[in-house]
Structure 1
C-alpha cells in the first residue's frame, strides 16, 4: 500500500513541476578600445554552430567617448542582427566567434544606428571597417568606427558564468531523495 502511495505522489509531483523551455543566457561584458559592450544574448540551447533563428533574445548596451561623432553616449540594442551567425559557435558555457573565417556578425541599435560588430578575416572594409577584429561604431551617412580591437582565432565573447539548476530539477532531485529515505526507513 505504501509503495502505491509513494508512486502516486511521485506521478502527481512530476505533473506539477513546471518544465521551462530550454534556453541559455550568455552574459556579454566586452572592452573595445575606450568603449564597452555589456548585456546578454539568449539562445535556444543549441550547441555548435548557430543561425540567427537560434538567437532568441538579447539586450546589449554600448558606450564609447567616440560614438556619434565624439559625443559620449550609450545605446541599447534591440533592433536587428546582421551578418553570418554561423561564425558563432555555442558551448554550454561560452559563445565563440571565429576571427579567422570570412564574414561578419553583429547587432544594430534600435535608436540611432550604433553597432557592435565581430569581423572575420576579410581584410579591408567589410561593413565593420577593419578586420579581423571587434568594433563598435555608429552610422551617419557614411558610417564610422569608434573603437576597434584586433583578434585572430576563435575567441569567447560571451559566457554563462555560473550555472543554476532549474527549479524543476531541484524538486525532482528532492523527491527522489525523499523516496530513497522512505525506502531505507522501511527496510531498517
Structure 2
C-alpha cells in the first residue's frame, strides 16, 4: 500500500511540474505616430533576455494612413521576425531597451512591418533610431510612422499565463483517493 501511495504521489508531482513551464501571451497595443500595431506574442514562459526561439507564436496587424495606401495589413502569423536577443520578459510585460544598439521587429504577410530600433544613428536596419517604427516594404522599404523613444520601455500591455494541461493531474489525484477509499472499506 505504501509503495502504491508513494508512486502515485510521485506521478502527481511529476505531472504538476509541467504547470511551472506555462507559456505567456503578451498583448501588443501600440500607437506609433498616427498609426498603430496590435496583436500578441506568445513565449515559452522564459523570463529575462529572450531569444527568438523563446517565441512560440505571434500575430501582428499594422495600421497607418501611409501603410499599403492606408489599408490596414491583415493580422499575420506567417511573417518574419528579425533581430534576436533584444526583448526582455517579466511575468507581465516584454521590454525593449531603446538605448542599446540593437533592433527587433516583425514583417506581416502583407509586407508591412513593425520595428523597434535602439542606439544612435540609423545603422540598425530600421531607418530612424532610437524609436519605434511601422512601415511597408516595396523595392526600397518605406517608413510610414515613427515615435522617438529612449530607455527601457514595456512594448506590450498585460499578459495572460496559459497553464499546462492539468487534467491528468486531477485524474491521478481522484484515482489515488478512490484507491485509498477502496482499501479502507
Shorter-chain TM-score: which interval? 0.7 to 0.9
What whole-Å deviation, never above 9, does each CA across 1:60-85 have from its counterpart, x for those lacking one? Answer: 111111102x33322323221002x2
Q: TM-score, normalised by structure 2?
A: 0.76
Q: TM-score, normalised by structure 1?
A: 0.75
Maintained 8 Å contact 1:75/1:114: no
Aligned: 1:127 with 2:125: yes
Task: Name stretches of at least 5 consecutive residues in structure 1 with no aligned partner.
Answer: 180-188
Q: 1: distance between equivalents of 2:124 and 2:14?
A: 52
Q: 2: distance between equivalents of 1:79 and 1:164?
A: 23
Q: 2: distance between equivalents of 1:164 and 1:47?
A: 15
Structure-2 residue corresponding to 1:118:
116
Structure-2 residue corresponding to 1:153:
151
Structure-2 residue corresponding to 1:184:
none
Aligned: 1:88 with 2:87: yes
What whole-Å deviation, never above 9, does each CA across 1:103-154 have from its counterpart, x for those lacking one? Answer: 110001123x111000001312532111000010001111100111010000
- Structure 1 residue ranges (4+ consecutive) displaced by more than 4 angstroms after TM superposition: 3-21, 162-167
Report the CA distance shift for 1:48/1:12 in structure 2 as closer, same or farther (over 3 A): closer
Report the CA distance shift for 1:160/1:6 in structure 2 as closer, same or farther (over 3 A): farther
- The aligned length equals 174
Q: What CA RMSD, in Å, does the superposition of the two structures yield over aligned residues?
A: 3.4
Offset of residue 48 of structure 1: 0.9
Q: 1: distance between equivalents of 2:55 and 2:72?
A: 26
Correspondence list, 1:18-37, <5 A = 19=18, 22-37=22-37
Task: Name stretches of at least 5 consecutive residues in structure 2 with no aligned partner.
Answer: 178-185
Maintained 8 Å contact 2:135/2:144: yes
Maintained 8 Å contact 2:92/2:159: yes
**Farther off after superposition, 47-56 or 18-27:** 18-27
Higher relative contact order (CA 8 A, sep 6+): 2
